[in-house]
Amino acid sequence: QVTLKESGPVLVKPTETLTLTCTVSGFSFSNARVGVSWIRQPPGKALEWLAHIFSSDRKCYSTSLKSRLTISKDTSKSQVVLTMNNMDPVDTATYYCARIQEGYSSNAFDIWGQGTMVTVSS
């Protein structure tokens, strides 16, 4: 069974750097053509795509947040890590990771983590 699970701090202070980890199970990055994205959702608002890492290790970022984001993958640990610097209260949101199988048979982001709520406050 494929699962993704987000972990990280519940509360961060303004200007701090947020580090979130997505731990996957049920497949291995070393032998699966799978990409992982981070997506967030402020309370009562829409989904916002943040960053994506492909199986090839190519990375892409939301244009509006590019300067603040870094995504990376640790294949040995089955983890994808997102860092976001200079956190602000407007970054308060539930942060999700989700996986996509790459290639012609892709069925979009078919597996999502449960999400982790991050509050930015002093």
Catalog residues that contact other proteins under the rule CB under 8 A. 37, 39, 46-49, 52, 60-63, 96, 100, 106-110, 112-115
Sign of CA dihedral 26, 28, 34, 40: positive
Q: Kindly tell me which of 29 and 95 has the beta carbon lying closer to other proteins.
A: 95
Question: What three-state secondary structure class fits 67?
Answer: helix
Q: Of 6 and 91, which CB lies nearer to other proteins in the complex structure?
A: 6
| Distances, alpha carbon 52 to alpha carbons 89, 91, 104, 119, in Å | 23, 18, 18, 22
Between 10 and 108, CB nearer to other proteins: 108
| Min separation Cβ 109 and other proteins, Å | 6
> Whose Cβ is closer to other proteins: residue 27's or residue 112's?
112
- Shortest Å, Cβ 116 to other proteins: 12
Total Cβ atoms within 10 A of residue 40: 24
Closest separation between CB of residue 63 and other proteins, Å?
5
Find the helix or strand (DSSP H, E) in which 34 lies: strand 34-41
- Asked whether the beta carbons of 7 and 23 are under 8 A apart, the reply is yes
